[in-house]
Structure 1
Amino acid sequence: MLKSRKTFPCSAAVIALAMPHVATADTAPGARAAATVQQMTADEKVVLTHGIMPLPFIPGTVVPAEAVPGAGYVAGVARLGVPALRETDASLGVAWVGGLRHDGATAMPSGIAQAATWNPEVLRRGGAMIGGEARAKGFNVLLAGGANLTRDPRNGRTFEYLSEDPLLTGTLVGAAINGVQSNHIISTIKHFALNGQETGRKFVDIRIGEAAARESDLLAFEIGIEIGHPGSVMCAYNVVNGQHACDSDWLLNTVLKKDWRWDGFVMSDWGAVPGMAAALHGLDQQSGEQLDPAVFLGKTLEAAATGDKAVARRLDDMDTRVLTAIYASGLDKYPANPGGAIDFKADGDVAFDAAKQGIVLLKNDAGVLPLAASAKRIVVIGGFASVGVMSGAGSSQVQGDRGPALTIPAGEDGPFAALTARSYHRSSPLKAIRALAPAATVTYRDGYELSDAVAQARKADVVIVFATKWATEGLDQADLALPEGQDALIAAVAAANPHTVVVLETGNPVTMPWLDKTAAVLEAWYPGARGGEAIASVLFGQTNPSGHLPVTFPAGTDQLPRHDIDGYATLEPNFAGDPPTPDARLSANYDIEGSDVGYRWFARTGAKPLFPFGYGLSYTTFASSGLTVDGLHASLTVTNTGARAGATVAQVYLVSRNGAAKQRLVGFQRVDLAAGESRKVSLTIDPRLLADWTAKGWHLNAGRYGFAMGDDAAHLSAPVTATEPARTWRD
């Protein structure tokens, strides 16, 4: 695959995932790319540097015959055997694009749900499945690999991304990319970088120091690139320290290409290119050019290259990078053509397994779950549970071949209105519950009338309330509360029946003012194509829950670094994120938290979250013991102390450096154990997680470092210490 530096994975399982699949860029692919560029005419050299969005509803767009309706199309060079690039969204499955292709795809659970598995193999299998379906539809580029850290849980795309931690995010996204690219197609990693909010996303200026960026968001991308070797990096809409991310010489040339020695190509996000100078600052390909003010990397670039040797050299480099990715993934040798066979049953099983592993049991008083067979009357309330499970919206929207079970328009106008509709996958929790409780009377109420829901709750042995919170690309959220009176509904039902179980279908953390009144709470996220069955499987104990939170659940927004998302209160909602006027300005100060994102911020401030990062219960119990750290190697023993088989996540954290508090996840591994079984877990610690970024690169001070194992980031063992020598190194 594409060249990148050595990684320091957290477990043996990840080492296996990091093995390259095809030749490196400095052997066959790179050499072939350079030779092809030498044969290109001046006109041909600007074929691969720009592309369109091949959708007929965009004014003035002529869709080429060989394009497949989707996110993007970049013409090939037939004379030289260079294939066209046919691009589709994204990380959760092949995007629906409003049903334009008259086909469907398998929807994986949301990114945050996949991350809740803490299992790289789940992400690898999901990526391989999605990549296979993309290939069968004729696509050879998947716009996957969302790796932005959750700096603010109100971000509208929290559901698409993975976690708030760079090690967890980088490890999981790398595994997903490996899975995608095993199909001889290119995967991206995106959105590079610091794309932390949707409000004003095309002009918000993210202010952050270099050390803080390198130790957090950039480290997540770096680890993901090292493990996954993506053919492409998609740069982001936002501005970083005064420069558009797709026009940032520091991000693209200095960090990505020079420091990380990455050989792939940088594509822009759709409508993110401010001008031709972006090519000189590291952008290799302009995507969805109809959404930009002009086609900057076509004839304009060709003319500039004709009169400027420096631009000409840069253009050759742009083509070399695109071709290297094409050859490294074998797009020319293994062409993807529409009409391929898809085993939807097998692919649905991949989504089903991911959903089951990603569901997090947050509360289970008196063992109310799993539901007993003795429950004779079950009332299911709310969440359109009779219809299906909620899906996040935006460009990542995936639906099966029959389309959504239910669609509620969001009221948007324009060509992208369909992207922001509230949709539900065809996997009904109510139907799945009835299938697993055939002897019980299972009734349903939609929750619209509170008094009716309460009356039904009083007559039931157990109540299951489904609560949802919709999220979409393009729009952030005002707060962390459940919308549409659902908090009041849950409180009233729980007051009527103490055996109330709440199932949350959300794309981000939510507050729970009713928590103490309920018997059990499951966070099911947006659980994908088989989500209803996965939820029922956990409720009735066919599946022992093993998910752990990949993000902190705050007790309230007052615990976050910013009281409000910058611009949310002053800007009108705008899916594109365009400035309301040419001179509009918006900035977000990420130096408030710096590299202390998520649980690190909570450790720094001492605030107590509603549920901490890494938290998750099971129907069995576990104990960890015997933590030892020797240099960059840690080991501990995990034991299933309960009466049934289950899985947990071994977690090891840095907690201090030379006596000063500093919390960072340094290792993790999912462990499946039979009842009574013990297993030793060995982890390799990436030294960057212990170090600081300085003007000379990474620096590790000599001294004593404290480490602790824990069930989550807030409940840790007594620390053990290890002595580390001083080190300074560059990537």
Structure 2
Amino acid sequence: MRRRVRWVLLGTFLLVLLAAAVPAERPHRSTPMAIGRQPAVRVAPSRLVRATTRAVAAAGQRTPDPLARCPWLAAAIRAGAGPDQLAGLVLARMTLTEKIGEIVLRPANGFENTNAGVPRLCIPPLTLQDGPAGLGFGDTGVTQLPAPIALAATFDPSLAWKYGQVQGAEAHAQGIDVVQGPDLNLARVPENGRIFEAYGEDPLLTAAMGTADIQGIQSQGVLAEAKHLVAYNQETDRNLVNVVVSPRALQELYFRPFAAAVTSGHVGAMMCAYPKLNGVYQCEDPALAAQLAAWGFTGLLRTDYAAAPDPVAALKAGVDLVKPADPGALLAAVQSGRLPMAAVNRAVHDILVVAFRYHLVENPPAGRPNTPVASPSHENVALTVAEHAIVLLKNSGGLLPLDAGADAPIAVIGSDAAAPVTGGGGSSAVLPPFVSSPLDAIQARVSNPGDVTFADGATSPAPLPPIPSSALTADSRNTPGLTLTLSDSSSAGRHTVVLPTPVVRIVLGAAPRNRYTITGSTVRTIAIPANAGVTSAVFSGTLTAPTDGLYDFSLSCTGSATMTLDDHVVPLGVLDGEGGTRTAALSLHAGHRYRLAIHWQPFGVTSPAHALYDRAFFALGWKDTTPAIDAAVALAQRARTVVIFAADRTGEGFDRGDLNLPGDQNALISAVADVNPRTIVVLNTAGPVAMPWLSKVGAVVEAWYPGEAAGQAIAAVLFGDIDPSGHLPVTFPTDTAQLGITTAQQWPGTQLTVRYSEGLQVGYRYLNAHQLKPLFPFGYGLSYTTFAMNDMRVAPVAGGYRVTLTITNTGSRAGTATPQLYLTFPAAAGEPPEQLAGFGQVTLAPGESGSVTITVPRNVFSSYWNGRWTTWPGGYRLAAGWSVTDLPIAATVPAPS
């Protein structure tokens, strides 16, 4: 024993020396890299040290054998039995109750999702946890990575692999078997509340980044779970809406990233989505399992939460794991014959096969949720992704990068500078261990503390303080407050109450039937019975501002709401959903009695599904922001340079009503730029936003939701430590009509049906087909240097073409170029022109040239016609350039053989 420990210690010493000799590698793109080439798996020095530390511990102290109580299973594993055979051995020994326990997910022991496992047969529970940007469900001690849309903006699959490696390593260290991500849905509409959670509007880019993320996750011995299959492109009415999509659009656009996740990423699990697809709940549709089988999927298929109203139908259709479901009800369904035993056995067998394939039985991940697993190396990945995700949209006169001396004094303006929005809300939300603020990072760059000043300037995109009763008068009464009228389906029909003091929150479901409960000494909350069948609520009265000024209004609610002042609709844009906050800015005149009316549908059309969620709520707030804007303008006048931060706040459960920045942020930016043209705007947003002030400002950068390292990353780009190399994974339109989805039937739907009548013309494809110029096109991104594309060589290879581009850095500093290829089909194919066909990257010093090779496989040349994939004869145009609207070099080739 002593000899074995001595050899292990010697090996440890040598490995530590080796680790110390390896230079610390900062993830950076220094060599050409093209789509399709997967990064090599490298073990960081810190992992080597941790591995040998575990080896020493194992030499001196044996860990419990998870198969000690099951010698029959241990013997089969030692004999080399495969996952299918092992699953059969276990399944034959299980009771019906144990089988039901395997297919039902529930939260337990700090895990978001877990099944029961079969302890007597040495089968541990399967554990699953969100999410796409780091571990969620309130987990702590984890890394908050930038939002996936930021990752997409890097156009760098090697970074996506490292991003996934962090997700997988932290999951494994917390005892989690399955990471619930990535999200592979396309950004069909920019108002989508979860647009930040996926990779943008293009299926090829989504497939490339998502596949690399999956491979990174699964390199750590855990499963990735691609979601949400399929055509889940809005939050409005998501539980009940029927999505009508043509087979061609479904195959060419929406299925494509999921197919790549299976065929290239070999993803271990898949989650089916909420919406009905062409009339059928997807999690209850056998066609979905059949499509997965056609791709060769052999992993787990589970429902999203409450995405299968009938769990029995879902299991019969091929789903393996359901949530929620009553085990007793499923047991009764088997006993009555409604749920075939064969469906139960198939689901359990699938679960066991995956558990054995990933060695989750004999070597389950150790650890517990909330165990600190973030590390400096993980923080470095988060920082690197955030830096390379930033897109430079405008840079007039070379205003950027900043010089800490010459460009001072610097006025930093906007609440997001001090408390940045680092991630989206909902199931993908991550609790960061720290947040680097842009204000702190900018102050750290300037030697004289007085050279950086700060003004809040605008409200944050969060609920505002309640409107005081002194500004409100109830209907037909000389009484402060508002009149609330509820309509319900009970015999009483309507209930009216005067709310005499500020109401912070109205809650349904916390009071006896037909009775109101007012809590708090100053009426902070009013509770209304949920079982009264409330269908609508109307707040009415008058609003009187105490002073002239610009006022922000915030409206937070479930369901949908419309607010009017003097019969003019306030553009709050609250759509039907599970809860969100919308803000709008209005100029009000002191003393004018504005007629105020708010129509609220607490549940709207989604009322059946909302029984599964938290109680409905409503809250209204306001703030006079004129003094804050005036102070910001005064500060900007005294500064040489202004950096103004603006953000939105989106999340699961609600869509944006429009693309305006929340509250008074547009007014703030415009007012500041009027007095200082050296204004730089930094956007922390979920996706595209309107920029009515664009012509006034000197520079604009898009930082997305940059994660915990927000301030460090933004400062690094602003001051030129990092050359901005991000590119837009979504179109920034001049207005949403430019994207061709302009009718209620297309979005958010009518009578619970959304028609994807635009077909293939989604995002930039619509603009290409109609020759429209957006605000900023797909693939766009500026740099602090310049690049030239000097040569394009196209050569046929087996099953496609190899395109080689020569790129030269013609500027004065190093930078990373991202050449992109776009394909135009023969006219007979009926395809939108110039679709992304590939991309690559190369980092070059000033004056240096390099080549990028991009392989375009045969399937990129295929269209889906009449139920099959077809390659049309004729000429295909391959154009190369820097965005979908900047393509200086092209070549025409025949259909690949």
What residue number does 2:385 align with?
Answer: 354
Contact 1:47 1:298 in 2 (8 A): no
What residue number does 1:383 align with?
Answer: 415
Bigger radius of gyration among the two: 2
What residue number does 1:268 align with?
Answer: 303
CA distance in 2, matches of 1:295, 1:205: 28
- Cα–Cα, structure 1 residues 475 and 93, in superposed 2: closer, same or farther, change >3 Å? same
What residue number does 2:6 align with?
Answer: none
CA distance in 2, matches of 1:383, 1:671: 36
Contact 2:141 2:373 in 1 (8 A): no
Q: Percent identity?
A: 38
What residue number does 2:693 align with?
Answer: 514
What residue number does 1:16 align with?
Answer: 38
Q: Does 1:444 align with 2:462?
A: no
Contact 1:175 1:227 in 2 (8 A): no
1:218: how far off? 0.2
Contact 2:34 2:840 in 1 (8 A): no
1:335: how far off? 1.6
Q: Does 1:323 align with 2:352?
A: yes
| Aligned partner letter, 1:123 | A
What residue number does 1:370 align with?
Answer: 401
- Cα–Cα, structure 1 residues 269 and 131, in superposed 2: closer, same or farther, change >3 Å? same
Greater shift in the superposed pair: 211-220 or 126-135: 126-135
1:317: how far off? 2.2
CA distance in 2, matches of 1:18, 1:517: 46
Q: Does 1:42 align with 2:207?
A: no
Q: Does 1:434 align with 2:600?
A: no
- Cα–Cα, structure 1 residues 267 and 664, in superposed 2: closer, same or farther, change >3 Å? same
CA distance in 2, matches of 1:33, 1:648: 49
| Aligned partner letter, 1:45 | K
Matched residue SS, 1:334: coil
Matched residue SS, 2:431: coil
Matched residue SS, 1:162: coil
What residue number does 2:474 align with?
Answer: none
Alignment of 1:653-672 (within 5 A): 653-657=822-826, 662-672=833-843
Contact 2:807 2:849 in 1 (8 A): yes
Alignment of 1:525-536 (within 5 A): 525-536=704-715
CA distance in 1, matches of 2:741, 2:825: 26
Query: Deviation string for 1:616-672 (max 9, x for gaps)?
Result: 011111122322333322221122111111112120010232587632111111222
Query: Deviation string for 1:361-410 (max 9, x for gaps)?
Result: 00011111000231220000003312344421111111134xxxxxxxxx
Greater shift in the superposed pair: 228-237 or 497-506: 228-237
1:481: how far off? 0.8
Query: Deviation string for 1:226-254 (max 9, x for gaps)?
Result: 2221211000011110011211222x222
1:341: how far off? 5.9
What residue number does 1:610 align with?
Answer: 775
CA distance in 1, matches of 2:744, 2:448: 49
What residue number does 2:375 align with?
Answer: 344
CA distance in 2, matches of 1:127, 1:541: 28
What residue number does 2:805 align with?
Answer: 636
CA distance in 2, matches of 1:160, 1:120: 17
Unaligned runs of 5+ in 2: 1-31, 44-76, 459-627
| Aligned partner letter, 2:379 | G
Query: Deviation string for 1:554-595 (max 9, x for gaps)?
Result: 11012123236669889xxxxxxxxxxxxx9411111x2212
CA distance in 2, matches of 1:384, 1:477: 19
CA distance in 2, matches of 1:514, 1:553: 14
Contact 2:438 2:711 in 1 (8 A): yes
Equivalent in 851, 874, 881 of residue 680 of structure 1? 851
- Cα–Cα, structure 1 residues 94 and 513, in superposed 2: closer, same or farther, change >3 Å? same
Greater shift in the superposed pair: 163-172 or 687-696: 687-696
Unaligned runs of 5+ in 1: 1-9, 55-66, 402-424, 571-583, 727-731
What residue number does 1:175 align with?
Answer: 212
Alignment of 1:113-512 (within 5 A): 113-250=150-287, 252-257=288-293, 259-275=294-310, 276-289=312-325, 294=326, 298-300=330-332, 302-303=334-335, 311-338=340-367, 342-373=373-404, 374-401=406-433, 426-439=435-448, 441-448=451-458, 449-512=628-691
1:16: how far off? 3.0
CA distance in 2, matches of 1:520, 1:479: 23
CA distance in 1, matches of 2:896, 2:786: 38
CA distance in 2, matches of 1:464, 1:301: 63
Contact 1:89 1:143 in 2 (8 A): yes
Query: Taking CA–CA contacts closer than 8 Å with sequence separation of 6 or more, which of the two structures ends up with the larger relative contact order?
Result: 1
- Which structure is higher in strand share? 2
1:493: how far off? 0.6
What residue number does 2:584 align with?
Answer: none
Matched residue SS, 1:91: coil
Matched residue SS, 1:134: helix
Query: Deviation string for 1:252-290 (max 9, x for gaps)?
Result: 222112x2121112100011112111222221110244x
- Cα–Cα, structure 1 residues 380 and 11, in superposed 2: closer, same or farther, change >3 Å? closer
Equivalent in 748, 756, 759 of residue 594 of structure 1? 759
1:684: how far off? 1.6
| Aligned partner letter, 1:256 | L
CA distance in 2, matches of 1:366, 1:27: 68
CA distance in 1, matches of 2:198, 2:743: 20
1:483: how far off? 1.3
Matched residue SS, 1:215: helix
Contact 2:881 2:889 in 1 (8 A): no
1:297: how far off? 8.1
CA distance in 2, matches of 1:365, 1:34: 67
What residue number does 2:865 align with?
Answer: 694
Contact 1:171 1:227 in 2 (8 A): no
1:437: how far off? 1.6
Q: Does 1:28 align with 2:82?
A: yes
CA distance in 1, matches of 2:328, 2:772: 48
Q: TM-score, normalised by structure 2?
A: 0.69
Equivalent in 529, 532, 539 of residue 718 of structure 2? 539
CA distance in 1, matches of 2:758, 2:792: 30
Q: TM-score, normalised by structure 1?
A: 0.85
Matched residue SS, 2:794: strand
Contact 2:142 2:374 in 1 (8 A): no
1:300: how far off? 4.1
